[in-house]
Structures are given as structure tokens and as C-alpha cells.
Chains A and B, each alone.
Chain A
Amino acid sequence: MLAGRRVIEAQNITVHYGGGSIRRTAKVTALEDVSLSVEAGACHGLVGESGSGKSTLGRVLLGLTAPNRGRVAIAGFDPARLARRQRPAFCRSVQCVFQDSGTVLNPRLSVGRSVREGLDIQRCGTRADRDAAVAALFERVGLSQTLLERFPHQLSGGQRQRVNIARALSVSPKVLVADEPLSALDVSVQAQILDLLHGIQRESGLTIVLITHDLKVAQEICDTVTVLEAGRTVEHGRADDVFANPKHSTTRRLINSLPTPKFA
């Protein structure tokens, strides 16, 4: 790990939803004064229960939700204030993988085509170069070349999630934001995808922000974690420390809720 070089720096992020002046919806505070910094090449976990704000924080990092207050710097960009001409470069640097592997892929494109699309848009090399790159990406994420021409509905959830990872990696990003990438998958497939993400992080120095409600997953691959509750950071630090000596009652409650064997 390249200690010290921070690739993500988020300061005092506050996000409100609702509270519109026309349709007087109730104002909900999704994030309140949350700060985050992640070193290059690290895997950082955002953990917490549903509604704790972890996905909102992921969306802020990706520039999909603009914070009401606070500033984000991610791979040298401010995702809330991107100039139009910066966007292609931002998309090359910051990529995402979501939980629902089915709905994020275009059902009318073969999965090989979906993976190539990012390269097409970014005009990387010739068409032949891009096809070769897609084949190499399939290889890298452990997908058979015979699947290139298949459509999303013809693949299993685990295979589709590999396609999504291949698509995200196609532009060689600096940061990958993965929002519950394992939740819909079997344990055995989870293990394979975890090993895949971990391997990629190690060999290419990718920085990963892993959003998960599964503490065991966070414990396994994260270097550092932030525990969120009701939109606030309750604890953050090195993953080993946080899980071995949880300081905040929320973290302890999450750890104590993990099922323990009857026969222990």
C-alpha cells in the first residue's frame, strides 16, 4: 500500500433528500457531516444498516448525488462540480459496480458489447484492439470467451456480476465504488468475486470503496472501514482494530448480531 497518498478525500458531507418547496415532502437527512479519506491502493469498507447512508455516500463519491454541504476530491476530481469536458476523464478514473447485476446491463446488448461500450465511448484504439481488450477482460474476471455473445438474461447472477466488474475495469480506473456487489450471490460465488476483487486490488493498485452490510465480507477484504449509523460516522479506522475492539455501541451491536454457532 502506498501509505499517505490519498485518492479520496471527502469533508463534512451533508445530504438532504426531500423537503421540496412545491411538494412539501418531509426532509430527510441522509448524511450529516461525514468525512472520509482513503489511501491509494486500499480497500475501504462503508458498513452500516439499511438507511445508515452508506449508499448515499457512495453516490456522492460517484457524482450521482450532489451533497448539500461539503467537498469531495476523488482521483483529482470534484464529482459535484465536473465541467462537461472533464466527464470522460472522470469516468475513466472512477467506476462503479452495483448490487443488482441484472438491471444495470443493457438487455439488448450482448455482454461482450456492454463491456466494449466504455472503450468505444472513450475511443480506445481500433475496433480490433477493443475486441482484444474485451477478450482479455473476460479472461481476467474468469469468464469463458464463449459467453461474449450471450445476453444478460442468459447468464447467472455471478456471471453477470463478473461482466459488471469487467465493464468497470475496462477503462483502467483508479477507484472502484462497489455497492453491495455480493449481496445477491451464493456464498461460493461471493467467495470467488471477493477473491477476484482482492486480486485486482493487489495487482493493479486499484482503490476500492466497498459498501456492504455484511461485516464478515468487510472484515475479510477491507484495510480500513467507516461504520455509519443514521447518516453519521460512528467509528472509523483500520478494519482489524475496529472489528477486534469496537468502540461504539453501534459497531458492537452489529458484531453481536452476527449469528454464532449453537455448538461453539
Chain B
Amino acid sequence: MFAPMAEPLLTVAGLSVSFDLADRTIEAVRGVHLTLEAGEILGIVGESGSGKSTFAKSIVRLHGPPFTRSRAIIGGSIRLATDDSGVELVGASRETMRNVRARQIATVPQDALSGLNPLIPIGRQIAEALRAAGMPADRRRVLALLEEVQLRNAGRRIGAFPHQLSGGERQRVIIAMAFARAPRLLIADEPTTALDVTVQAQILMLIERLRERHGTAVLFITHDLDVVASLADRTAVFYAGELIELSPTRDLFLHPRHPYTQALLASRPGVANGKRLMGTAPDLAAAAPGCAFAPRCPHAAPRCEASPPPVFHKNGFARCWRVAA
């Protein structure tokens, strides 16, 4: 582990992301506050539509055209600490964002095919990542990176196209591109969801190695709670666009505070007689005044639906009336 710097690597304050659709506005992320220390692995969990991916993409601004149909409106602040003073990412120029994506923040998408250019051999794509980060990009370096991520027969496959590799191998190539620039932050959005357990274990090991080797912090987004438990230092739980609980991973799994976290943990396969999470996540276009989880919550009281719950702090936080009491 790395000693925390004076300033956290990433400071997110009051972040909101909304999308204007033809007939309504979707508030995909609402008022998120969190910090990430250098070298820390933060797990982000939640159901589909909880805003976890939108949150992560807003950091590198990977939504809005051409990535999504409608424009994203981002409010609040995302500060990234750099060697010189730091940079505000909300409202930053395209030039700044380009630079941040090339040198500071790497991303690993769920579907590695969408992260690779299908028309360019993988070796050239890694060389491109090296050049963008301002590093020399000769064959020897590219090969060293492919060997670092343990691509089998790297020497013969440096000229292969993405479709000639398996899903796990493509994910290794993407991670090699991350290794290439020794980023401060890696955003991994469901990187192992499509992979076999055995391959998943190897990819998770590579991500840990990236952290050890370069002190890279990781935002690890997944809906697989067991993966988070095996990897993350702290875990954040998203529900209906809000960050509802954030705790050290051990505390979150052994003593979940928020009723939603409790229900989510009980829904894991293999948990006998768990009080399963019923119903479905709420419509993000129709925000309720109170707690978004109240309609599905087994402990809901009148005050829960009337006003938003306070935030309870102690070694992490949970956004719930019951926890605050």
C-alpha cells in the first residue's frame, strides 16, 4: 500500500450527471461525494441502471456524443491530483481531457472488442498508447508489455488483429495499454464479466500487479460482489444514481449498514435463505423526495418517503434514516 498523499488522487464533490432525452430528463448520477487515494482499489457495485458506469465514465468524459445519443450534463467537481497542483475535470477543455486520457487515466471496458480498433494489429495499438503518453514505441517495448500481461506466444501474435484473440487475451491487450502509460488511475468497468472464472482470476491478478508496479489507483466497477470482496480496499454501493454506502470492504461485507446493501449481499447465489431483493430499481426520470430505496425497503417508515435520509459518517458512510438513528 501507498501512504496517502496530502491531497487524495481523486476528489469528487457534488457530482451530478443527467441526460436530456426528447420527453424527459434522466438524472443518472445525483450528488456523489467521494475521494480516492493514490494506489487504492475502490470497488463500485450496484444493479444495472444504478449509475455506477455513468459515474465512472463522467471522470474520463466517455459519454455524450459520439458515445451516447444524448448530451450529458455534468455538474459538481472532479479534481485529479497531478504532479503540478492538479486539474479540474468537469468543464475541462478537450485538449486537457485528451491529455488526461493519454497519460493519467486508463480505462478497461467490459467488452475488450469495443476498446480495440478492429482494423489495426494489436502491437500497433499498444505502440500508439505509448506514443500518446510521450514514450518511445519500439517493437521491443511493445513485446515487453505483451509479456508483462502474459499473452501466450506474444512474439508471434504482436501482429494479430483483435478478432484473432480470445476475450481474455483481448482484455490482456487492453491492460497492456494501461501498463504502457503507468497511469495514476485505472477505471475498469466490468472487465471480467464476460470471462471464465479461471481467466477472471488471472485478469484480476494483472490489475493488482499494475497497482503494485506503478502505484495505480483502481475504480473497479462490477455487479459481482465476490470479485469486489477479493480485490477492493473500500467498496461503494450505488443505487438509483446515488452513492448510498461507502465503507472499507471488510466492514461492508461483514456489517453492511444500508438495508439495500444488506439485501444485495443476501441475493448472492450460494447465500442460503437470504432475504432476497424484491422488485426492480426505480425510474430515474421520476425522482422521489425521500429515500430512493424506500419502495423496496423492508424497514421503510413514513419519514423515509417524505425526506431524503441524512448521511451517517463513521469509518465510511451510509445514507439511511435507520442507520442515523
Which residues of A approach B to under 8 Å, CB–CB? 49-50, 156-159, 186-192, 194-195, 213-217, 219-220, 253-254, 257-263
A sample of 22 cross-chain residue pairs with beta-carbon separation below 8 angstroms, ordered by A number, consists of A49-B197, A49-B199, A50-B166, A156-B48, A186-B48, A187-B224, A188-B263, A188-B267, A188-B276, A188-B277, A189-B47, A191-B269, A195-B276, A214-B197, A214-B269, A220-B269, A258-B226, A259-B224, A259-B231, A263-B229, A263-B250, A263-B254
Q: Apart from A189-B47, A259-B200, A259-B204, what 10 extra A-B contacts exist at CB < 8 Å? A: A49-B198, A49-B199, A50-B167, A156-B48, A158-B280, A191-B274, A215-B197, A219-B269, A259-B231, A263-B250
Which residues on B sit within 8 Å (CB–CB) of A262?
Answer: 229-232, 249-250
A216 touches B280 (CB 8 A): no
Residue in B201, B223, B224, B274 whose CB lies within 8 Å of A257: B201
A195 CB to closest chain B CB (Å) equals: 7
Q: Judge if B288 is at the interface, Cβ distance under 8 Å.
A: no
Q: Judge if B23 is at the interface, Cβ distance under 8 Å.
A: no
* Per-residue interface assignment for chain B, residues 80 to 95, with 1 indicating a CB less than 8 Å from any chain A CB and 0 otherwise: 0000000000000000
A192 touches B197 (CB 8 A): no
Task: Kindly state the separation between the CA atoms of A159 and B49 in the bound complex, as whole angstroms.
Answer: 14
B314 CB to closest chain A CB (Å) equals: 19
B280 touches A156 (CB 8 A): yes
A52 to chain B: closest residue by CB: B196
Given contacts A186-B48, A259-B204, A261-B253, whether A192 and B230 have CB atoms under 8 Å apart is: no
A86 CB to closest chain B CB (Å) equals: 37
Task: Kindly state the separation between the CA atoms of A49 and B166 in the bound complex, as whole angstroms.
Answer: 13
Given contacts A186-B48, A254-B197, whether A263 and B267 have CB atoms under 8 Å apart is: no
- Size category of the B interface is 35 or more
Which residues on A sit within 8 Å (CB–CB) of B166?
Answer: 50
A253 touches B276 (CB 8 A): no
Q: Which of A159, A187, A195 has the most CB of B within 10 A?
A: A187
Which residues on B sit within 8 Å (CB–CB) of A254?
Answer: 197-198
A interface, over-half SS: helix
Task: Kindly state the separation between the CA atoms of A188 and B200 in the bound complex, as whole angstroms.
Answer: 21
Task: Kindly state the separation between the CA atoms of A254 and B196 in the bound complex, as whole angstroms.
Answer: 9
Residue in B200, B223, B232 whose CB lies within 8 Å of A187: B223
B268 CB to closest chain A CB (Å) equals: 6
Given contacts A254-B198, A263-B253, whether A192 and B278 have CB atoms under 8 Å apart is: yes
Residue in B198, B227, B232, B269 whose CB lies within 8 Å of A217: B269
* Per-residue interface assignment for chain B, residues 188 to 221, with 1 indicating a CB less than 8 Å from any chain A CB and 0 otherwise: 0000000011111100100000000000000000
Which residues on B sit within 8 Å (CB–CB) of A188?
Answer: 47, 263-264, 267, 276-277
Which residues on B sit within 8 Å (CB–CB) of A189?
Answer: 47, 280
Q: Judge if B302 is at the interface, Cβ distance under 8 Å.
A: no
Q: Judge if B270 is at the interface, Cβ distance under 8 Å.
A: yes
Task: Kindly state the separation between the CA atoms of A187 and B222 in the bound complex, as whole angstroms.
Answer: 10
Which residues on A sit within 8 Å (CB–CB) of B254?
Answer: 263
Q: Judge if B154 is at the interface, Cβ distance under 8 Å.
A: no
Task: Kindly state the separation between the CA atoms of A158 and B277 in the bound complex, as whole angstroms.
Answer: 13
A51 CB to closest chain B CB (Å) equals: 9
A257 touches B197 (CB 8 A): yes
Residue in A156, A257, A263 whose CB lies within 8 Å of B200: A257
* Per-residue interface assignment for chain B, residues 232 to 263, with 1 indicating a CB less than 8 Å from any chain A CB and 0 otherwise: 10000000000000000110011000000001
Task: Kindly state the separation between the CA atoms of A187 and B223 in the bound complex, as whole angstroms.
Answer: 7
B196 touches A213 (CB 8 A): yes
Task: Kindly state the separation between the CA atoms of A192 and B263 in the bound complex, as whole angstroms.
Answer: 12
B204 touches A187 (CB 8 A): no
Q: Judge if B297 is at the interface, Cβ distance under 8 Å.
A: no
Which residues on B sit within 8 Å (CB–CB) of A186?
Answer: 47-48, 223
A263 touches B249 (CB 8 A): yes
A219 CB to closest chain B CB (Å) equals: 6
Task: Kindly state the separation between the CA atoms of A23 and B267 in the bound complex, as whole angstroms.
Answer: 49
Task: Kindly state the separation between the CA atoms of A253 and B201 in the bound complex, as whole angstroms.
Answer: 11
Residue in A157, A260, A261 whose CB lies within 8 Å of B48: A157
Residue in A156, A159, A190, A263 whose CB lies within 8 Å of B269: A190
Which residues on B sit within 8 Å (CB–CB) of A190?
Answer: 267, 269
Which residues on A sit within 8 Å (CB–CB) of B232?
Answer: 262
Task: Kindly state the separation between the CA atoms of A216 and B269 in the bound complex, as whole angstroms.
Answer: 6
